[in-house]
Structure formats: C-alpha cells, structure tokens
Chains A and B, each alone.
Chain A
Amino acid sequence: MCTYVNGPLIVQSDKTLLLEVDHERADDCRRAIAPFAELERAPEHIHTYRVTPLGLWNARAAGHDAEQVVDALVEYSRYPVPHALLVDIAETMDRYGRLTLSKHPAHGLVLTTTDRPVLEEILRSKRVAPLVGNRLDPDTVAVHPSERGQIKQVLLKLGWPAEDLAGYVDGEAHPIELDEDGWALRPYQKQAVENFWHGGSGVVVLPCGAGKTLVGAGAMAQAKSTTLILVTNTVSARQWKHELVKRTSLTEEEIGEYSGTRKEIRPVTIATYQVLTTRRKGIYPHLELFDSRDWGLILYDEVHLLPAPVFKFTADLQARRRLGLTATLVREDGRESDVFSLIGPKRFDAPWKEIEAQGYIAPADCVEVRVNLTDSERLAYATAETEEKYRFCATTATKRKVTEAIVRRFAGQQILVIGQYIDQLDELGEHLNAPVIKGETSNAQREKLFGAFREGEISVLVVSKVANFSIDLPEATVAIQVSGTFGSRQEEAQRLGRVLRPKADGHKAHFYSVVARDTIDQDFAAHRQRFLAEQGYAYRIMDADEILAEN
C-alpha cells in the first residue's frame, strides 16, 4: 500500500476524519481539509474532523469543487477512501447551487433554478409554499424579501441549499478606522476578519481571551458603516464601548448604549439581549431598534447565548451583514445549526491549543480536585430529593476547606472563586475574607470591586455566575470552580477563559474544579470538561487529601 501508507489522515465510514497531529504532513493536510471539514475534537494526538453536508456546501460557496475535496481526501488518506463516501461527497456538493436567490430588477428577490425538477420538488414542500410568491417563469419564483432568512433555512433542511447572490445592503456609511497604535491585529484575528468579510456573514469562533472584541472592531473597520452590537449584559456593553474607544477612531459620543437604564441610539449602538427580548403586553417594544437606523453591520457577541426570540428577528435581517462571535459554539439546546443558518456559517475557527502555542492565550493547568463526602454527608446525599442532590453535593463543607487550601497555596496571586450557589459563595467569602459579587450587587459596586481586583488591592474575589461572561480581569491567574450550572460545557470553557488572558510575566494559569467524588457532581464535571478535553486540555485529577496535606 505504498501510496497510502504515509498519509496522516484516516477517513472513517461515519464521515469523520482522523488527523494524526504528530505526522510530518499533518499541517498540509489540515490546510487541505479545513475548507470543508469541521474540527470536532482536538485532543493531544488525533484530531477529529467531520464532513457534513453543511461544511461541503460552505466549501462550494467558497469556490471549492468536489474534485478538490476528493483529491484532498485521497491524497492524505492512509487507507483507501471508501468509494461510497467519495460518491456521497460528490453528490452532496452537486446539490448546492441548483437554486440561487438573487435580486431581480423588476420582481425583487427571486429564487432561480438550473434544474427544474428541483424547483418543482421544493415548491411542493409545505414549508416552502408560504414563503414564495408568483411563479415568474418555469425556472423562477418570487420570494418575499422578508422571508429571505426563513427560506434559506427551510431549503437547507430540505437538502437543497440556495446560493444567496442577493447581496447585502451597505447601510448608512460611518467612518471607522482601527487605531493601531502600539498594537496590531494578530495574524489569526486578521484572518478571521478577512474570512468573515469574504463570506459576507458568519460566525467566528475564538477561544476566550483570544481577542474576539478586536475581531469585531476589525470587522467594523472593514464595513465602515453604522453598527449594532448585541451583547449579553450591561457590564459587557461598557467593556465593548471602552475597548472600541481605545482601539478605533470612534469616540465616546459616537457610541450609544441601549440597555435597561439608557436608551441611546448612535452610529454605533451596543444593546443587550435582555432589553431586546423584554416583552410587554405580548410585544417586543425594543425591536424597533433594528429598524431605527440603516445598520450596515450587526454584531452578535457570545452568539452561543443568543436567546430564541433574537433568532426570529435575525431571520428578517438577512440583507444586512451579520457577524457572530463566540468561544464555544456548543449549545446544550442543540440549536447550533440555527445559528449557522441564520447568522451564517462558521467562517473562522482556531483550536485553543493552537492559539496557546502562538502565545496569545496563557497555557493553563486544569485540575479536578476530588473531595470525599463524609459518611454522614453520604447518607444525607442518598436521602436527598433528586432535584436537591446536585446542590447538596456541590456545596459540601469539604469543598470549602479544599478551596481555602488552594487559596493558601497560591497566596499573593490573583484568585477568582466561581460558584453557582449564593449561600456557598457567601460562606466562602466570609472564610476567605473576600468580597462576593452576585446578582444583587449593583453595577457600580461591581465595577469598583473589579477595579480594585485589577489594581491588585484585593487578591481574592468570589463571584457567582453573573461574572461568567465578558468580564475582563487581566491578571487573574487562578480560578477555583466550586459549583456550576450542572453539566454546561460552555460555562466551563468560559470560566477557564477568565484566566487565559496572557499574563505579563508569562505565568501559567491554574484552573481548579472542586468536585465531590462518587456523586452526580462528578458526572456533571465529566460532561462539563468534555469540550475542553476535546480542545486538548488534559485535566489532572487530584485527591482533596493531597491538597489538604500540603498545607
């Protein structure tokens, strides 16, 4: 098997591709398969890619043809590629482009086909019927402009993706420049902006701390038009504003905040998901924001958190450029595909470890500390109601002791203690003599505490899940997680992200997850860690006794 024996790639019958990372041709191979295969898992030795119809169609949209895909597989494959798979790839890619959405000078948005039976087939579908208008000629049918997103989504589900050539509106022009003074976009950020701009709309996936805000700023500088930025909460909105003022030619006056407290609409407006989804008397009063200006670009921060109503609004915004930013496109509700079809396909994705290798995020030491429940706790745990079980084991008293021990171990460093349950956090705050930030803490108080933490005035901060997202704590080097939102994978990743910003002194970050052994806490922890483990973060497991013994 002389031609194949040296390939780094193994093509599996379930359309996953296994790439041997240590292989000398691994990098070439990675570049060759990246256009059409999704990176699914990136642990230490073998990376898993998956070939999906969506990926193949995106590759077609980006100008790759089936032959290139097949060539890439055959060239790098260690074993003969199953013929059926090659045929399937060719057939799948052939489905793309049979239908096109375009602008007709007289009829507005139209759906055209090069293959009449396909049009007949999709027009017969019940889900397509309400979205289209008159049949203009045997190959063309009018589409209601407002249904552009909807019809694309439906056609994708029917397996006949439409090529969208209708283009984007430019929106109201507004000069925005990057202010690259003493810093510059990192190569991968540039690449991400470029990929996004070339593709028109889409999602950029970058690890926490890898500078997603700058990708957003870069995209705005490309668009040079009015921009609507949707973020998760007010603190995050302020940070976006701060960062934009610092990194771009935009001034404070040009940036508006549209939140519960302030309702400013300016050339660049930052709104929170919460205010958009506020519902009064069955209507969403703040939806007009989308129409209040002729936005040229809409930015979705933390797109994995996009609430369901926003999906619906987004479907109506298909003529505007959309950029989604996220660290972890894993949604426990499985709506990733909605994100792809409504905001756009994944335009850029970088494995965490790759960014780490380039030095842009700090290397992290992930440790799972297992504490034993005492005999009486075990008995209480066994008798607890099912819905109380997690709370019980996640807040066991031993965790407090272990947390204290870890804090002592890293005394002098900036330490975050993150948890889910307020009483547990209050108790920890009391014992560690540290301030607690939780939902009821006022924004002013929060910013004051964050400031103090940044300045190093306080070295330990206890935070609830309010701090999960987009708080910028540059010098936190240790994070201790005592409890979480059950098995949420992206929460785990976001929390690790709190300590991944590169340290000034090149310090290693430490992430401790304290878990009660032999309880569902441990099962949830295993699930939570899955995403990071697949990104190559190998958790070390320690016994609580080891940590306690050290002190």
Chain B
Amino acid sequence: MSTPATPPRSLAEALRTRDDVSLAALLRSRPDLITPVPTDLTQLATRAGTRASVVRALERLDRFTLQTAEALAVAADPARYDELLGLMAGDARDPAVVDALPRAVAALREQALVWGADDRLRLVRTARELLAPSPQHPSPTGLGPTVAEATAGMSPGRIQEIVTAAGLPSTHDSVSAVAALTKLFTGRRRMKALLAGAPEESLEVLNRLVWGPPYGQVTADPAARLRWLIDRGLLLPTAPGTVVLPREVALHLRAGRAHRATEPVAPAVETKVTHRPQVVDEAAAGQAYTALATVEELLKDWDEGGPTVLRAGGLSVRDLKRTAVALDVAEPVAAFWVELAYAAGLLASDGDADERYAATPAYDEWLEQPAAQRWARLAETWLTATRTSGLVGGRDTKERTLSALGPGLDRSAAPEVRHRVLGLLAGLHVGAAPSAESVLARLRWERPLRGAGGAQRSAQEGTQGSTQGDDDLRSRLARWTLNEAEMLGVTGRGALSAQGRALLGAGKGSAAGAVVEGRLATTGGSGTSSSSGPGDRLPVHHHNARPPTPTLPEPLSPAEQSMASAAAARLLAPLLPEPLDHVLLQADLTAVAPGPLQRPLADMLDVLADVESKGGATVYRFTPGSVRRALDAGRSASDLHDFLTAHSRTPVPQPLAYLIDDVARRHGHLRIGAASAYVRCDDDAVLSEILADKRSAGLRLRRLAPTVLAAQADPAALLDGLRAMGFAPAAESADGDVVITRAHAHRTPPRTAPEPVPDGPPTPDTTLLSAAIRAIRAGDRASTTPLKTTPSPTGELPRTSSAETLATMQAAVLTGDTLWIGYVNAEGSASQRVIAPIRVEGGFVTAYDHTADEVRTYPLHRVTGVAELAEG
C-alpha cells in the first residue's frame, strides 16, 4: 500500500480513498450505516459520526481495541502512531502491546472510528467526546484534563505564580506559560528532577490520584503537602474545594501508560477436562435423545387442553410449576423446553376465545421425522432464536414478572452470544471441556462495553448509557448457553460434540476448529497481516506475524444453517439408540422398555400403562385405571393380550393377564347415554308400531328394551308428537307417577308489596324545624345586617388577609361583636358562619356560632376572611 499524495482532511475524504473491499468491510461491521443506504460518502461519513452509530460501534470493540480508542481520546488530536504506542505500551514498550497495536488501529480504521495516516491519527469526534475524560464522565483511563484544559479560565497572575513556583521563567502571556508548563510536565527528565524535590507526603498524594479518579477534595486552607503540589501546578483547581491531577503529570507518573493494564491478547479459554471424543459424542447423543423425549412429553402433556394464555401473554407461574413437575425437572429447565418448543413452532396459542397453548400441526409433521432430524431442528432453532428462557421468572424494567412464552423475552444479542460461545468451544481440542469462567472472561474481553463486569464497569458507565439495563446480559447469556447446550446435547460433558460442530457449519472431523477460524478470517474481514486484505489503504505493519485474534463469527445464512443442521443430523443419527420393538413384562405388573421404543409401541403402551420412571429406559406400571383407559380407547381385551404377547420377550405374567381380563369383564357393562324423554308401555307391540310409524322419525326414538323407548325430543314435544299420531300418552313424573295436567293457578315467588310514593316530603319534626329556623335566621342576619366593612357582595365569602383576620378577631373578642366569616372545612367545602369570638389563641378561634347555636373552635388558617356585622 502506498501513502496517498495529499493526506485526507476529513473522515469523508478518508473514506473516499478506501477501496470497495475495505468499504464493504466497514459496512459489514457497521450495518446500521446502510439502513437506509446513504446517498454519498459524505453522508456515510456523517452517519458514521452520529452518536448512536458510534456508541454501537464502540460497544462491539474488543477490550484492547477499545483501550486503544480510549488512549487516542486522551492523546493529542491528531496523534502520531508513536504517541499512541507510548500511551498503550508505556515507556517500557511492552512487546505484546507493540505487536498487537497495529491490529487494533487497523480495526479502528476499518470501522471508521479512526482515520488519517499514522502520523495524523484521528479518532472521530463523537468517539472522542464519548471517551475523553470530563468531570461528569470520568474516563476508563482514569486520566484527568490536560494542563491547558484545567487552566482555562485561571487568572494570568495565578498562572505566572505557578510557572515561577515550578522553577520556570515567567512569560508574557498565559498561553505561553501554559505551554511551558505542559512542556515541563511532559519532559520525563525535568519532571523527575521536579518531583525529586517533593516532600514524601506530597508524592503519596500523587500516588493516590495517579490511576484515577484524578479528582481530590481540598479545604480552603490546604495542608503543606497539598500546598506544595498546588503551588507547582501538579494539582490544579477545577472548582472550589476540588483539585485535579493534570493528565501530563499522571502520564509521567504512570511511565506514559494510558491504562494501568492493557490486555493486548484475548484471554485463552482454559480447558478444564478433556474427554475422549467418543464419550463426548455419546453423552451428547444421550442428552439429545432426552431432549426429544422431553419435548414430546411436554406436548403430549398438553394434548388435551394445554395451559391457558395469561391476559398479558405467556404461561402463568403455576402452569410452569405444574409443567416442571410433570416433566420432573426444575422450573427454569421446564421454561427452557417450553420456550424451545415455542421457538421451533411446535406449540402456539390456539387463538380461541378461551386462549390455550397447544401443539401446532407442525408438531405432527415434526414427529414423523427421523429422530436426528427432529433434534437438528430443535438445535437450529435454539442457535438462532432471540427468545431467552433464562429470563423467565425475572422482572422487566417496569417490575413486571417475565413469564415463559410471554412478551419481553427477546434479546437480540442471544444468537450472537450462543454462536460465539460455541465458536470458542469449537476452537478447543476435540473433547475438551472449558471452564465456564474462562469462557466468560473471553467474552467480556471481546465485548467489554456490553456486559462488562467488575472493575471496568464503574469507570465505563458513562459510555454504557443505553445498555445499562442489560447489565451483565452477555455473561448471563453465555452461562445459559453453556447450560442449554448441554441439555440439548450440542455439548456432551461440557465439550462440543461432533454434531455440535457440524451445527456451527464447521465441516466435519477434528479439523473443525481450524476451519472455523479460517472461515471467520475471510468473512469477518480482519486481514491486517495480508496486504490484499481490507482496511484503510494506509501503512500496515508487516512485522506483525501474530495471527489475528479471531474476530466474532458471523451467524450463518439461513441456507448455510440448514445445510449445517442436516450435516449435524447425519452425524447424530448413528449415535441415537435404535428404537426397540419389545418390552419386558414382570409379575409385579410392570413393564420395562430397556431403551427407546418404536413409536406405535410407545404410543400404545402410554395408553395401556402409566409411566413410572423415565430415562434411557422406561418403566411402565399396569393398573386397572390404565387398562381401562386402553379399553376406552377402543381396544378389546384380546387386542391387549395379543399386543403384549407380540411385544414381550417373556411370557405374559398371569397376574397381568388377569388384570386385563378383570377390567375388560366389567368394562362397558354399564352403558350410559343421554335422552330427553322416554316412552314406556307394557305392550311391546304398541312400541313397535310407534317405531314403525314414519311420523315418529322427528322424535328420534330408540328402543332400549322391549318396553322402553328413549327419545331425543323433550317430553312436551314427545307428548304432542304421539298425540298427533293418534296415541293418548300420559306424562310421568320423576317418581313415576302419572302427572295430572289441569288448569292450575300460577304463583310468583314471595314478593313484598310496593311502598307508597308520597306527594311531597314528609312533615318535619320539631327538632328539625328548630334547627332549620336557626340556620335561616343566622343566614338572614348575615345578609340583612349592614356590614361595617363593605367589600364582599352578598353570597360571596368575605376575603381578608390573615393579619387582618386576626386583628378583627382579637378586636371582636374585646368588644364582643358578632362577625361574619367565610370558612372552609376539612373536606374543602366553603360556608359562611356568623360567630361571636370568645378567645383567639394558638391559631384557633373559639367562638359562639350563631349558625350552629353552640360554642365551636375554628382553625384560623381555614377562615378565608372576616367581616364585622352591624349590631342588629
């Protein structure tokens, strides 16, 4: 690659110089840039600089690349590559960082987060704003503002004082003073000399602030050790009572490093144990078989009316619990199977008025498929589903419980995390089971901003912004993935099985791991070590011989995925146990199927016997109830005997044969049906005649016995019908008596007689009258007596200021005058009262109330106003 003649002046120009492959790589890694497709590169560049897009891109960086971006954010703008290297590798030039940095810079360039040549590296402005330290958003680097930033707004006199104290010649203006100070702080040797003269305690203060947060509190009169630092500008005031360690000083103390620890290499996924590949595949196949059995059992359990759908959608906690008991698993596990069946389209809500969950027609088709394909479908569904059963039982942001099959379970990160976890497993040796912690550590390294845990978190909260709610989602997803993969039989004993590898589209055989990496390297597009690879057309550091850290896998396209699933199914098929065609019958009325049964046999046994124990084998128990169930299902005793004889390796035990015969003997002995009416007659000839008569067809008669007919028509219709045919039937009561029908007086149930409705209100009694008169008089007095103070028009509450109210009240106590007050009671309703105040104290007025004709106490604050009444 060659350096272009003129360096680009903006991101748009930088993009313009990139070739198609490199632009494609950008758009692949940041697909949000092309929705909708931008009209030109300027628009693309603008969009690439928007906050939302940059946040998204930053979240997808691995830890080292992110650290590189953070270092750039605290470096000069533009920065030289050497400067960046200094920040990342420190003065000691950590060789691992030196090796890894070109890749990180290339990745940032590819993602259009950084542009410009190595001598002018520029972080896009939005990223810089997001990552650069500010008092509100401390940087993950723990660095504070530069000297220039921290001294902005400081009085020139103060700056000159600092310069002098630091041992520099005074300058003419503040700008050159700040520049001189900066130069002093960045010069390692001179700085060392300066600090050599520092008191021990002052150095301790610096050491406390060096790795951040760089801010400290000082009192108005700082101690000597602080004074020394403040005087020399080693601590600069930011706000009253607060000082900050300037970035240059911190970097000097850190030997140039922007980060306390850099992680240039992804943490390796540690192998905990290694099993023989065969053991892994077989264990996984066993689990795969269990998975199929569980899903089938679940849906069979729901065959006759599954659980109802909650109004808010989903499965109630109780139904989930019941399902868990039925499947004999823990509730979270039950939730997993339910969600899996749902995601695979095997179950859904039936959409009836009384909405219930039930198996879909797709389930029946699925059942017809060979076991391996059935598994592949489940596994593929699981791999690509965004629904996350692990969340079931938790709460959403509005504190509502998340229920299985309910809304709010989709997590778009889930498929990617699943892919990535399995991808990491695939990168290990065949048969190796990793420790969950190392997998999680690796995932956290790859996406530090998403699901960051521990130390980094607090510092990064500023940039986390919108992802706050998803706290540790990626780690949780990864943990669930490991569990679920095991339950589903994608892994066996913790290691990825051959069929699991195939499912990832990793080809066949033990070379799968390498194949994964290879495929990823080409499609993921981080070919920094290859000159023809995508990337900026800018100098690439060829000395980097290290293979690139595997970039994140792209999930397969649907077509690829279905091919991969088919391959997985082919690998699984021979591992699944062959269905058996026989069971062992025992005299204790049990049958043991020493392995999976052929479907018709299993179906029949499920009806004929109760399942006692499940697993590799199935133990069935025959009970009278179960045998009756089979008879109810239309089997005859001889069918059952033949069935057992045909499928038993051993003679049918006599007690079992007896059980079947015993139940069959009594089965159907009693017959039950519904009829609306009956006809009975001692003369069966008459009944034959009725049946023979065509007119009786509408009555739907059936002969139950020679002398009894049952009818579907109701008794009245039957009576009329038979009368119409010329018979003279008599109705019978429930007790068998003839019902005598004759005119009979109809009566209502007991009823009370209506209350009279009087013309007007009832005559009031004396008490009521006197109260009424009193009220009227008081009102009258209020309205007719001329007011001493005029304001308030009639009917309106008097309004006076509270001081005036109080004064008037106190005066009235002395004079014994009667006052007219407006009063608002505790319920807020206003009224007028006429009172003669007796006492005013403690915010209350005690007065004789003419309206109520008694002494009452009113809180003054409820009195809206007061007016004096003329003595009348």
Contact = CB atoms under 8 A, between A and B. Distances in A.
Which of A43, A537, A539 has most B Cβ within 10 Å? A43
Contacts of A80: 279, 282-283, 285-287, 492
A530 B283 contact: no
B562 to A, nearest CB: 27
Nearest to A12: B615
A13 B588 contact: no
A10 B654 CA distance: 26
A78 B575 CA distance: 13
A16 B613 contact: yes
Question: Which 9 A-B pairs give the minimum distances between C-beta atoms?
Answer: A12-B615, A80-B286, A538-B587, A79-B616, A533-B588, A43-B586, A10-B617, A13-B615, A80-B283
A4 interface: yes
B653 interface: yes
A43 B588 CA distance: 7
A41 interface: yes
Contacts of B654: 538-541
Which of B486, B584, B614, B662 has most A Cβ within 10 Å? B584
B283 A83 contact: yes
A83 B495 CA distance: 12
A2 B282 CA distance: 10
A46 B588 contact: no
Nearest to A366: B587
Contact of A82 (B279, B282, B286, B653): B286
21 contacts: A3-B279, A10-B595, A13-B328, A13-B615, A14-B328, A14-B615, A16-B613, A16-B615, A20-B594, A43-B590, A45-B592, A46-B584, A77-B616, A78-B594, A79-B616, A80-B279, A81-B283, A82-B287, A533-B587, A533-B589, A538-B653
A12 B494 CA distance: 20
A36 B614 CA distance: 21
Given A45-B592, A82-B290, A541 B285 contact: no
Given A79-B577, A541-B654, A45 B586 contact: yes
A12 B613 contact: yes
B658 A541 contact: yes
A11 B595 CA distance: 11
A44 B586 contact: yes
Given A18-B617, A46-B592, A78-B594, A13 B290 contact: yes
B456 interface: no
B770 interface: no
A83 B275 CA distance: 13
Contacts of A4: 282
Contacts of B815: none
B575 A1 contact: yes
Interface of A: 1-4, 10-14, 16, 18, 20, 41, 43-46, 48, 77-83, 368, 517-518, 530, 533-534, 536-541
Contact of B286 (A18, A79, A534, A536): A79
B586 A46 contact: yes
A43 B615 contact: no
A1 B617 CA distance: 16
Contact of A11 (B285, B492, B616): B616
A371 to B, nearest CB: 14
Contacts of B282: 1, 3-4, 80
A286 to B, nearest CB: 42
B577 A1 contact: yes
B587 A82 contact: no
B613 A539 contact: no
A14 B662 CA distance: 32
Nearest to A536: B587
Given A43-B588, A83-B492, 7 more contacts: A4-B282, A12-B613, A12-B619, A44-B587, A46-B586, A81-B283, A82-B615
A10 B587 contact: no
Nearest to A78: B616
A63 B15 CA distance: 72
B278 interface: yes
Contacts of A518: 662, 666
Assign chain B's interface to a size class. 35 or more
B259 interface: no
Contacts of A517: 662
A506 B278 CA distance: 53
A183 B776 CA distance: 121
Nearest to A531: B588
Interface in B654-700: 654-655, 658, 662, 666
Contacts of B279: 3, 80
Contacts of A13: 290, 328, 614-615
A1 B281 CA distance: 9
A538 B592 contact: no
Contacts of A533: 587-589, 655
Nearest to B294: A13
Contacts of B616: 10-12, 77-79
Contacts of B594: 10, 18, 20, 46, 78
A322 to B, nearest CB: 32
A12 B278 contact: no
Contacts of B658: 541
Nearest to B494: A83
A540 B657 CA distance: 11
A10 B615 contact: yes
Interface in B243-286: 278-279, 282-283, 285-286
Interface string B357-377: 000000000000000000000
B650 interface: yes
B287 A18 contact: no
Contacts of A12: 613-617, 619
B63 interface: no
B372 to A, nearest CB: 14
Contacts of A2: 278
Interface in B604-630: 613-617, 619
B493 interface: yes
Contact of B592 (A11, A18, A78, A541): A18
Contact of B615 (A1, A11, A20, A41): A11
B287 A3 contact: no
A12 B619 CA distance: 9
Which of A2, A41, A44, A530 has most B Cβ within 10 Å? A44
Given A46-B584, A530-B588, A538-B654, A83 B287 contact: yes
B682 to A, nearest CB: 26
Which of A77, A80, A82, A539 has most B Cβ within 10 Å? A80
Which of B328, B486, B586, B654 has most A Cβ within 10 Å? B586
A375 to B, nearest CB: 15
A540 B662 CA distance: 14
A11 B614 CA distance: 9
Contacts of A16: 613, 615, 619
B701 to A, nearest CB: 33
Contacts of B590: 41, 43
A14 B329 CA distance: 10
Contacts of B587: 43-44, 533, 536-539
A539 to B, nearest CB: 6
B508 to A, nearest CB: 20
A83 B486 contact: yes
Contacts of A1: 282, 285, 575, 577
A275 B619 CA distance: 46
A530 B612 CA distance: 15
B584 A45 contact: yes
Contacts of B592: 18, 45-46
Contacts of B290: 13, 82
B605 to A, nearest CB: 15
Nearest to B285: A80
A534 B621 CA distance: 12
Contacts of B662: 517-518
B278 A3 contact: yes
A533 to B, nearest CB: 4
Contacts of B328: 13-14
Contacts of A18: 592, 594, 613, 617, 619
